[in-house]
Amino acid sequence: MFIFKSAVLLHSELTRLQKNGRSIGFVPTMGALHQGHLSLLERAKAENDTVVCSIFVNPKQFDDEMDLVNYPDPIQTDIEYLRELNLDYLFHPDVDQVYGPDYVDIDVPLNGLDLVFEGEQRPGHFQGVAKVIRRFFDIVQPTRAYFGQKDFQQTVVVRHLIQHFGLNTDLVVCPIVREHHGLAMSSRNERLEASKRERASFIYKSLLKLKERCYFKSLGEALEITTNYLQSIEDANLEYLVCVNGVTMQEVKSLDDADYIVACTVVEFGGVRLLDNIVLKDNLNNP
């Protein structure tokens, strides 16, 4: 595995490969790699000639300074993990390689996608994500870029970015990887006590029930039953449960309102904010 710290050198190496007709799969991460990342990397390996993973804790997407300072940084473990996977390239830049003196820090037009739901909770977060992804796409010029469905709103932002700038990259959204009991995998799960981690599977189970119900009840009724259930769980605090158009993040009232509909939720449980979602309808990607 080749490790690059320099954006210019990585760019010229990948340009050389592309000129030789090789496809490039790109998996951006902030490190602390887990099974979820592994699934993205394996898919990228299966679908491309060359795979690049980035590990960069992007300061622009943290609205809370302390979160950035406390972000885990197990870089040596991550490097070993990637070596075992036989990864081709790791991009592990310092901040000045990504946002150097020539970097022009202007907002990416996101049509308000950055202001709702997770964006409302974390002002500036999706602008920060869009800026770093735009910059990485310039450096890597990937044929395909891999993102987990777990951070659904992030995938919507990236799809918009690709369309807005007319980029020549295919977005590949990979299914959520779950623990054996159903909790969506996330580095945040480490903060949950073992007993709570298993109990937290109620979130996924309730999303499955919602999906089942919305085919024989109206979406509104199905949503109300699931909302009431989630609100009744001891120690849990339901932040939101919404059904959205998976392209615009606008709330929908019925399954007829859009071709791509996703139910997204955030539940605070055992002191940890747990995100999850389920696709209710997808005539866009699977017509």
As measured in angstroms, the least distance from the Cβ of 212 to ligand PAF is: 29
As measured in angstroms, the least distance from the Cβ of 29 to ligand PAF is: 5
Q: What share of residues in the chain are helix, strand, coil (percent, to 5)?
A: 40, 20, 35
As measured in angstroms, the least distance from the Cβ of 208 to ligand PAF is: 24
**Ordered strands of the 2-4 beta sheet:** 2-4, 89-91, 50-55, 24-29, 144-148, 170-174
If the CB atoms of residues 60 and 281 are measured against ligand PAF, the closer one turns out to be: 60
If the CB atoms of residues 114 and 151 are measured against ligand PAF, the closer one turns out to be: 151
As measured in angstroms, the least distance from the Cβ of 64 to ligand PAF is: 15
CB 246 within 8 A of CB 156: yes
If the CB atoms of residues 71 and 240 are measured against ligand PAF, the closer one turns out to be: 71
Phi/psi-derived region of residue 166, left when phi > 0, alpha when psi is between -120 and 50, beta in every other case: left
- Tokens of residue 91, six digits: 């991009």
Active site residue 37: yes
If the CB atoms of residues 36 and 246 are measured against ligand PAF, the closer one turns out to be: 36
Cα 255 from chain centre: 24
User: Which residues here bind ligand PAF, judged by CB under 6 A?
Assistant: 28-30, 58, 61, 129, 132, 151, 154
The one catalytic residue among 11, 34, 37, 125 = 37
- Tokens of residue 142, six digits: 């990937």
3-class DSSP state of 59: helix
Catalytic residues: 37
